[in-house]
């Protein structure tokens, strides 16, 4: 049965934030040669695909999500030859490479925008979204930037406003213009021809905007302290019905190249999210499922509800996926604490569907408090509470100064966590109970077991509200996963009185025969149990 699945279904994706992975040229910023030198680590860890956040030329107003040339490499990160070499060396190790595609906006320093801005009759004027001022001279409507303030910027020279749903240096492209689409599709083909295995598409749901430019409604639930981006409901700036035709166009391009993957970044409610699989499963292969990242409370019953609702909502044939962290959200070990984060990893790596792991989460890395003077992130500079810098700090490789991310005499672009002496690859590789040892063991078990990598998923009823228990099954192979979301000991009783074998505890300190009728879980403990094939099929 395994052969029926693609690599992006059976595999595990690992997100590398290139600035922070490994600095090979002593400038305090990570780069492509740095990533190449760590491919063996990623193979050892047991992931299957690397997704790179943007590595293209960029003025870095939004750390690479403001692109000034889509078909080259920023000198900070290396050269096109380095990218080719990364691809080649990754493929040699059976690792796939996924690039970040940022179609909603370019940098204001992109030649297209420079032309567009130069005068109103320029051939590329309509490549971006220009509008006359409102009658009072103010912005054309109430749309806000997700980084705060109006989404409109007045251009003195051509006396019109341009739209930027993110930073003022990130003007939005006009995806209703066919030439824009063609130019962007050429970029996809450029990288596919070079051999990349797919794309993660930045803010896929936002590419089209209301043609009448109607005001967005305000969010009645917004309260001070919430992110500025949540103040409005993006009714007219996202998830417009004609978006699906665009997603289908992108998919058709990628499909011509065989087994490549399209992953859509989509922060949408479940019913809207799953539309991006496409009616004929002809849009994104994996509309990113961020429910474990966005849920307001982390607990057994909420997670069971989320898992069950997602499984029930998935269109026939659609492949699930799960995300625990990324460069935009606080790290899991900070959100739920390091002890519970071990159980969170067991959840991520035993649920049905492709997991995406964020670099450093395999070590239990936490957010690092960044003093305001050292902040880089544009929204963070406006509102330090919502800075994304704390989750983007250098990867912790060893106990040497700067955690082995860059040489001792070099200042890393963001400070290294102060606890890096304990939490780093070299130390954790040696420790039998470390976070890294746990994540690697989970990845090894997942890879070697059809039930865990492609099997069915079913939540199991049991009376303890602090625990979430589920079954993964493929043919006669069955596993039970029992997760304790509380810090206290819990007992889980399954109706089946049968026997299984404990393969892995998140505490990494015991294994062996296990009676399912009464399982004792210590605080924050997760258990992975293999059920003897000859035991009853009651559960």
Write down the least CB distance from residue 172 to ligand NOJ, Å. 10
426 touches 437 (CB < 8 A):
no
Helices (H) and strands (E) in the chain, counts: 16, 19
How far is residue 446's CA from residue 435's CA, in Å, rounded to a whole number? 17
Q: Which residues pair with 162 in a beta bridge?
A: 130, 153
Residues of the shown chain interacting with ligand NOJ in the complex, contacts defined by CB under 6 A: 62, 65, 102, 166, 202-203, 265, 327-328
* Active-site pick, 239, 265, 361, 377: 265
Q: Which is nearer to ligand NOJ, 205 or 236 (CB)?
A: 205
How far is residue 128's CA from residue 322's CA, in Å, rounded to a whole number? 34
CA distances in angstroms from 25 to 133, 193, 376, 405, 408, listed in the order given: 47, 29, 21, 11, 13
Write down the least CB distance from residue 47 to ligand NOJ, Å. 20
| 211 carries an active-site annotation | no
Q: Both tokens of residue 44? A: 């050892």
| 115 carries an active-site annotation | no
Q: Which helix (H) or strand (E) holds 189?
A: helix 178-194
Write down the least CB distance from residue 511 to ligand NOJ, Å. 39
Three-state DSSP at 7 gives helix
* Active-site pick, 66, 82, 100, 202: 202
Other Cβ atoms closer than 10 A to 123: 9
How far is residue 434's CA from residue 362's CA, in Å, rounded to a whole number? 10
Q: Both tokens of residue 451? A: 């039930």
Write down the least CB distance from residue 169 to ligand NOJ, Å. 11
Q: Which is nearer to ligand NOJ, 342 or 388 (CB)?
A: 388
Q: Which is nearer to ligand NOJ, 103 or 500 (CB)?
A: 103
Write down the least CB distance from residue 534 to ligand NOJ, Å. 48
Residues 6+ apart with CB under 8 A from 226: none
Q: Which is nearer to ligand NOJ, 82 or 202 (CB)?
A: 202
Q: How many residues does the chain have?
A: 539
Q: Which residues pair with 481 in a beta bridge?
A: 470, 528
Q: Which is nearer to ligand NOJ, 231 or 507 (CB)?
A: 231
Q: Which is nearer to ligand NOJ, 170 or 343 (CB)?
A: 170
Residues 6+ apart with CB under 8 A from 476: 533
Angle formed by the axes of helices 80-92 and 178-194, to 10°? 50
Q: Which is nearer to ligand NOJ, 202 or 362 (CB)?
A: 202
Distance linking the first and last C-alpha atoms of the chain: 23
Give the residue at shortest CB distance from ligand NOJ.
Answer: 65
Write down the least CB distance from residue 324 to ligand NOJ, Å. 15
Tell me which residues are annotated as active site. 202, 265
């Amino acid at each position: 049965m395994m052969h029926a699945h693609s690599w992006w279904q059976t595999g595990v994706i690992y997100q590398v934030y290139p600035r922070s992975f490994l600095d090979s040229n002593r400038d305090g910023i990570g780069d492509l040669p740095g990533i190449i030198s760590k491919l063996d680590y990623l193979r050892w860890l047991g992931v299957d695909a690397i997704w790179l956040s943007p590595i293209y030329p960029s003025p870095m107003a939004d750390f690479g999500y403001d692109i000034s040339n889509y078909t080259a490499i920023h000198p900070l990160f290396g050269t096109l030859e380095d990218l080719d070499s990364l691809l080649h060396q990754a493929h040699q190790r059976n690792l796939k490479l996924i690039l970040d595609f940022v179609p909603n906006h370019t940098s204001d320093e992109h030649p297209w925008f420079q032309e567009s801005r130069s005068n109103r009759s320029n051939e590329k004027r309509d490549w971006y979204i220009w509008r006359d001022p409102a009658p009072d001279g103010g912005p054309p409507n109430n749309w806000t930037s997700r980084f705060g303030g109006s989404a409109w910027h007045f251009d003195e020279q051509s006396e019109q406003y341009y739209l930027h749903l993110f930073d003022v240096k990130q003007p939005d492209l006009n995806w209703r213009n066919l030439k824009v689409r063609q130019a962007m599709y050429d970029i996809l083909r450029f990288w596919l021809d070079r051999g990349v295995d797919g794309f993660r598409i930045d803010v896929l749901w936002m590419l089209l905007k209301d043609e009448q430019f109607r005001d967005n409604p305000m969010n009645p639930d917004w309260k001070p302290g919430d992110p500025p981006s949540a103040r409005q409901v993006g009714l007219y700036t996202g998830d417009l019905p004609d978006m699906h035709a665009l997603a289908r166009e992108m998919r058709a391009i990628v499909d011509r190249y065989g087994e490549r993957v399209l992953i859509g970044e989509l922060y949408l409610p479940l019913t809207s999210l799953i539309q991006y699989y496409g009616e004929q499963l002809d849009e994104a292969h994996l509309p990113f499922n961020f429910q474990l990242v966005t849920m307001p409370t982390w607990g057994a019953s909420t997670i069971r509800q989320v898992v069950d609702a997602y499984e029930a909502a998935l269109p026939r044939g659609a492949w699930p996926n799960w995300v625990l962290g990324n460069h935009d959200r606080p790290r899991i070990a900070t959100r739920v604490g390091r002890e519970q984060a071990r159980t969170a990893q067991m959840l991520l790596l035993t649920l049905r569907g492709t997991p995406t792991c964020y670099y450093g989460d395999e070590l239990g890395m936490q957010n690092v408090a960044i003093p305001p003077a050292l902040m880089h992130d544009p929204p963070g500079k406006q509102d330090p509470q919502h800075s994304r810098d704390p989750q983007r700090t250098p990867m912790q490789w060893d106990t040497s100064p700067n955690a082995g991310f860059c040489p001792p005499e070099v200042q890393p672009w963001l400070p290294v966590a102060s606890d890096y002496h304990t939490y780093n690859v070299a130390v954790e590789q040696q420790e039998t109970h470390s976070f890294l040892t746990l994540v690697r063991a989970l990845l090894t078990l997942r890879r070697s077991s059809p039930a865990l990598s492609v099997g069915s998923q079913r939540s199991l009823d049991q009376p303890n509200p602090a625990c979430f228990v589920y079954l993964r099954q493929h043919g006669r192979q069955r596993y039970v996963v029992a997760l304790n979301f509380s810090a206290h000991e819990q007992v889980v009783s399954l109706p089946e009185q049968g026997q299984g074998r404990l393969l892995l505890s998140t505490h990494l300190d015991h294994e062996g025969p296990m009676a399912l009728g009464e399982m004792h879980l210590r605080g924050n403990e997760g258990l992975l149990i293999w059920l003897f094939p000859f035991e009853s099929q009651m559960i």
